Structure 1
Amino acid sequence: MKKIFFLGMLIAFGFSNAQVKFGINGGFASATVSDKYDDLTAGYYAGLFTEIGLGAFALQPAVNYVRINKDSYVQIPVMMKFYFVPKVNVQVGPQFAFRTGQVPATMNKTNFGVAVGLGADLVKGLFIEGRYAFQLNNALNSPPSGQKLHFNLFNVGLGLRLN
């Protein structure tokens, strides 16, 4: 019990000293279907994020609107950023994408995946980042035996911390 209390106090202390920043981001978005990288489709994304700085680490949840061809998504990445050198970070975390509009009954409306990326701070408040998300769940709803379909998403763009 003491260990759990001590761990809770460390986490609470860490968040009480955290720097919280808000911002906007946007850029290029694309999707690949399953492992066929030649089926690349292109579009854009734009959204809002919060960055909670914890020293050499930062937690960055975001909400993005993604438009690729005729499909649109609400994308929610929750990235943990590790600054391995000042102003350059590696990112990893879960990413959720919810299809908006008409979705055929044979398709899942929700995409769950793991994203990895790289980012760099450019000038005060401005940064660039690239991220690739691997879909973990099957995009097909009740598929025939053995059939799988994945939409892997790639984003690269700019962000601006507003405070």
Structure 2
Amino acid sequence: MVKKLLVVLFLGLITVMNAQEESIRFGAKAGLNLANITGDGTENLDMRTSFHIGALVEIPLSDKFALQPELMYSAQGAKFEFSDFGLTDESTIKLDYLNIPVMAKFYVVEGLSIQAGPQLGILLSAKEEGEDSIDGEYEEDIKDFVSSIDLGLNFGLGYQLEAGIFFEGRYNLGLTNINDDDEAVDDSSVRNSVIQFSVGYKF
């Protein structure tokens, strides 16, 4: 699957090189992440509110279709709370990624687009930070237990103003099991799940 995604990214770069220079628009965007981890044993996890920021290029293919590769820093993960028998534990799983989405865009009407496309995520760091009633505050590096590659699919909507400002809403469905703990007793499967709201500007 990684090879297939790399082929898609490569074809996107070829399209960039062949597109007319005056029709390409570069831009930047940032916004809100509502991130979570779903799958086996994640019932007690809640959304982590965080952010994303990065750059993009929009390549028109026709009046209705465009391709939009992006390079994004995305802070993801989840939050955990436990309280029972006088014991408490509140922690945040912080997974930071360099994400490379390639979005296909269809303009329904002028300015309004439906978007979908694959995403390659490269893990930059993974930590668990929190406080419990036994050890107090703690911080643990968990990068060795998280897969270094995360593949996903994005679905969303976007609206572009004539002035260059645009707004996007997107859902990232994780396809890769990010559990990479070889010593785990059970072979649990967990995946990233992220809702994103962005505002940006195209030059």
What TM bracket, shorter-length normalisation? 0.7 to 0.9
Letter in 1 for 2:170: R
CA deviation string 1:68-112 (max 9, x = no partner): 464321111110010011110000000122221354322202110
Q: Within 1, Cα distance between the matches of 2:33 and 2:125? A: 18
Match of 1:39 in 2: 46
Q: Rg larger in 1 or in 2?
A: 2
Give identity over the alignment, percent: 29
CA deviation string 1:23-63 (max 9, x = no partner): 11001112121165961111111111010012201100011
The aligned runs of 1:110-129 (5 Å cut-off) are 110-129=149-168
**Paired residues of 2:99 and 2:122 also in contact (CA < 8 A):** yes
**Paired residues of 2:35 and 2:192 also in contact (CA < 8 A):** yes
Instruction: Report the secondary structure of 1:101's partner residue.
Output: strand
Q: Cα offset for 1:17?
A: 5.0
Letter in 2 for 1:53: P
The gaps in structure 2 that reach 5 residues or longer are 1-13, 77-91, 127-141
Match of 1:88 in 2: 112
1:48 matched to 2:55? The reply is yes
Pick from 62, 73, 84: which aligns with 2:70?
62
1:154 matched to 2:154? The reply is no
Number of residues of Structure 1 aligned to a counterpart in Structure 2: 150
Q: Within 1, Cα distance between the matches of 2:70 and 2:197? A: 14
**Paired residues of 2:33 and 2:49 also in contact (CA < 8 A):** yes
Q: 1:106–1:22: structure 2 CA closer, same or farther, 3 Å change rule?
A: same
Q: Within 2, Cα distance between the matches of 1:104 and 1:62? A: 24
The gaps in structure 1 that reach 5 residues or longer are 1-10
